[in-house]
Amino acid sequence: MSQSEWHGLMKSLEGVSAVCFDAFGTLLEIRDRRFAFRPLLEALPDSKRAKFKQRFVRENRELSGWPVALGVPVNKKVLDEVAVRVRAEVSSVRVRPGVPDMLATLRRHDIPIAICSNLASPYAPCLRRLLAGKTDHFVLSCEVGAMKPDAAIYERVETQLGTDRKRVLFVGDSIKADIEGPHAFGFRSTHIDEILG
């Protein structure tokens, strides 16, 4: 970490006993963004499109299972196109510069780390692989059935960390999901740019 990043991290940690990070846009980045689910969204009727938007990051479901779950036929070519896009995005995911040093610093200070992400299930294995051994807990929307900024997902973070919410720092890149939502729940919160610049 640079000297300024080090000071940014240390300042953010005053009075903090655990840290929760958002994943994509915060610790990880997709370098080849394909808007993977767009073909499926475009193939759905309006009523089903709205239901899919509400559900696709809240349910741990294989891509091929969505037509049945939504009760609507979807052309196999559409699902194949989504699968191609998902694979391209997943294969392009990288850990952001500065993140390994930041997480290692927290480890050295024995600060528990959680990851909380609004995530469609095809991306979960990649996230777990890239951050294996660097975090203590994963709270993923597709596995817990709730998404940021719903209080239920922050409650799961608090339970996993076993720390009073007032002493948890939530770090992310989304104002609504990672700053305002956690703050309203009682966490401290800050933008990742305040730490990594």
Same domain, 123 and 141: yes
> Do 108 and 151 belong together in one domain?
yes
Q: Is the whole-model pTM more than 0.85?
A: yes
Torsion of CA 166, 27, 194, 177, to 10 degrees: -50
* Domain carrying residue 73: 38-91
Instruction: Give yes or no for a contact between 9 and 41, defined as CB atoms under 8 angstroms apart.
Output: no
Measured CA to CA, the distance from residue 5 to residue 51 in angstroms comes to 41
Each of the 197 residues of the chain gets a pLDDT tens digit; together they read 566 665 667 777 889 999 999 999 999 999 999 999 999 999 999 999 999 999 999 999 999 999 999 999 999 999 999 999 999 999 999 999 999 999 999 999 899 999 999 999 999 999 999 999 999 999 999 999 999 999 999 999 999 999 999 999 999 999 999 999 999 999 999 999 998 87
46 and 142 assigned to the same domain: no
Q: Is 175 exposed, middle or buried, given 0-12, 13-18 or 19+ CB atoms closer than 10 A?
A: exposed
In terms of domains, do 136 and 172 share one?
yes
At what angle are helices 3-12 and 99-108 packed, to 10 degrees? 50
Look at residue 14 in the predicted model and tell me its pLDDT.
85
The structure tokens listed for 153 are: 């997902």
